[in-house]
Amino acid sequence: MSERRQREPPTSPPVKQSFVRCKGVASLVWRFSRELRHNMKRNHTITSIFSMKKYLFFASLFCLFSTASLAQNKQPAAEKSDPEAQKVLDRVRKKYEKHKTLEAEFTLTIEVPDQPKEVQKGVISQEGQKFRLDMDQQIIVSDGKTTWVYLKANKEIQITNADPNGESGFMTPKELLNRYQRGDYLYAITDKTREGNKVLTQIEFKPVNRRSEYSKLRVSIDEQAQLVERITAFARDGSRFTFQISRFAPDKAFKPAHFQLNPKEYPGVRVEDLRM
């Protein structure tokens, strides 16, 4: 019976100090990171379904970029957009919009003060509102209507309704790339670096809200491939979250079962059905 619980090479010319407003780009990353740090400080793994939903958002950054934003304490409106940064982001957005499906391998490095560094590897795939995230500690799957979270260490599967708005759960790459111009964050190109045979353009995002516990989000873009290479989120308490893309595969064909999880295939696992 299901149990219910509460629960750097060449550098760029001098950097422009102006930024362009951007809503929603980092809000869920910030929320996930805050809860993750809280759980780690209590010596817990990421077991909360709410933390896991926000984890999905962070993982979805494999093909784009990545606190809750408040209405007060905003930066002066005098700060203007960085047109070069916007051109780069527009090109990346258009690149991703061409693909019907996306898959990527990634490494997530979590650094929290006074805690051991945590490194997780995984694969994420996405088709429209459907997605699947396979990692060392958990599997998270959604068919657009239902979301399953399999917490391996806990031998537990949590089932929830999929969030169609994406505000508290997974947000697709296309949705994110369409939102970078619409909110309460500012961004600008800050550097260009060479890594191997790649030249990366670095764009930093800063929250308009001065009370945000996060200081910035740094996104490295391979402009030749027009793909996101790496995202790093910086918290004001010194925590750092780095999402490194190692392989990107667009337009891969997926069977419907790829975006579903059958609890009967996991004997001995406790199931918590949290659907309303």
Give a yes or no: residue 116 inside a domain.
yes
- Give a yes or no: residue 1 inside a domain: no
Distance of CA 21 to the CA centre of its chain: 19
Radius of gyration of the chain measured on its C-alpha atoms = 19
pLDDT-derived band at 221, boundaries 50, 70, 90: very high
- Where in the sequence is the domain holding 218, given as residue range(s)? 20-43+60-132+166-252
Domain count, the chain: 1
Question: Is 14 within the bounds of a domain?
Answer: no
Is 147 contained in some domain? no
Task: Name, in order, each residue with C-beta under 8 angstroms of 102's C-beta and a sequence gap of 6 or more.
Answer: 62, 63, 96, 125, 126, 127, 173, 248, 249, 250
| 3-state class (DSSP) for residue 101 | strand
Give the pLDDT confidence of 50-96 residue by residue, as tens digits.
Answer: 344 445 445 444 334 332 222 233 444 446 668 898 899 888 888 88
Cβ-based neighbours of 156, under 8 Å, separated by 6 or more = 47, 150, 269, 270, 271, 272
pLDDT score for 78: 45
Report yes or no on 4 lying in a domain. no
- Helix pair angle (27-41, 49-59), 10° resolution: 130
What CA–CA distance (Å, rounded) separates 241 from 244? 10
Considering only residues 170 and 67, tell me which one the structure prediction assigns the higher pLDDT.
170
pLDDT over 60 at 23, yes or no: no
In this predicted structure, the answer to whether residue 242 has a pLDDT above a threshold of 50 is: yes
In a domain? residue 151 = no
Strand partners, 121: 107
Residue 105 forms part of a structural domain: yes
Q: What local confidence, expressed as pLDDT, does residue 184 receive?
A: 59
Please state, rounded to an integer, the average pLDDT across all residues of the chain. 72
Annotate 28-62 with DSSP letters as a single string: HHHHHHHHHHHHHHTT--S--HHHHHHHHHHHGGG
Task: Give the pLDDT score at 66.
Answer: 32
CATH number at residue 186: 2.50.20.10
Report pLDDT digits (tens) over 176-202: 445 455 555 788 999 999 999 999 999
Give the 3-state secondary structure of residue 26.
coil
Does any domain span residue 84?
yes
DSSP-based three-state secondary structure for 95: helix
